[in-house]
Amino acid sequence: MIRKLIAITILVSLVSGLGLPSISSAGDKSNATVLVFAAASTTNAIDEIRQQFTKDTGIVVLASYAASSTLAQQIAHGADADVLVSADQKWADFLGDKGLIAERRNLLGNRLVLVVPKDSSRKVTKIEDLTTAAVEHLALGDPQSVPAGRYAKQALTKLGIWDQLKGKVVAAEDVRYALTFVETGNAEAGIVYSTDAAISKKVKIMAEVPADLTDPIRYPVVLLKHGQGHEGAESFYRYLMSAAAGKVFQKFGFSVLEQPVAQPPQ
């Protein structure tokens, strides 16, 4: 978490050094830099979207990626984020209960998949194989806080095998770290989002987790109170629901739940 906050500070310093807009905490917000907090699983898509938005509008968007739980707690403790893309509704609800949300819409859907290292020869072809001796370590996002891990636990519980597997779980701080454990061979298998598996050349997908085993996987996009009245933040919030952004999300494997607007807002 500290590394992520330091990274944001460094980025802001670099932006200021280039003479570009910097994050403003007071006064006229119309041209201030936008700060988006986004679930780790959206990293590639949000990076492409924010770069295109900056190209189209001239408004700089900085991003911090982590587990939705980490981001929500940072916001609750005063982090000056303008927009949040959460990997589940629970953490958006958490911020809503604290009165920190100005607007919110469910934007994206995702799926869970079972992955193993690309060069694995272990017999792990279906979810039930996780209970066998072929798997000693199962990488998940932390089931106590990370949405992908919580969804995975739901599925494994419904299948009646969670109690057999919980001793094998390597709990990662976000879904991308869970993917890394599998990529590096530190876990013989993992359950991650299909969008994360799709961008990796070091894992192979062995099975899809049936959608009826989990709560619906929904990504809310949130305009936070800190971004309300901030012209750039409001514009970027709307841009995330545009047809242009929708194409990027779909390219990275997300399903787009909201009907996109025909033209990105200017």
Give yes or no for residue 153 having a pLDDT over 50.
yes
**Is domain 2-109+218-256 given the CATH code 3.20.20.150 in the classification?**
no
Q: Where are the beta strands (DSSP E) in the chain?
A: 34-39, 61-66, 83-85, 101-109, 112-117, 138-141, 169-172, 189-193, 203-208, 218-224, 255-256
Task: Give the pLDDT confidence score for residue 16 in this predicted structure.
Answer: 32
Residue 242 DSSP code: B
Task: Give the pLDDT confidence score for residue 259 in this predicted structure.
Answer: 59
Q: What percent of the chain has pLDDT over 70?
A: 85
CATH superfamily of 112-213: Periplasmic binding protein-like II (3.40.190.10)
Whole-model pTM: value is 0.82
Choose the weakest-confidence range: 6-15, 223-232, 245-254: 6-15
Q: How confident is the model at residue 32 (pLDDT cuts 50, 70, 90)?
A: confident
Q: Where do the structural domains in the chain lie, given as residue ranges? A: 2-109+218-256, 112-213
Of 23 and 179, more confident? 179
**How confident is the model over 76-126, as pLDDT tens digits?**
999 999 999 999 999 999 999 999 999 999 999 999 999 999 999 999 999
Q: Do 45 and 241 contact (CB within 8 A), yes or no?
A: no
**How confident is the model over 199-217, as pLDDT tens digits?**
999 999 999 999 999 999 9
Give yes or no for residue 227 having a pLDDT over 60.
yes
Residue 261 DSSP code: B
Among 105, 45, 8, 53, CA closest to 235: 53
Task: Give the pLDDT confidence score for residue 31 in this predicted structure.
Answer: 57
Task: Give the pLDDT confidence score for residue 4 in this predicted structure.
Answer: 40
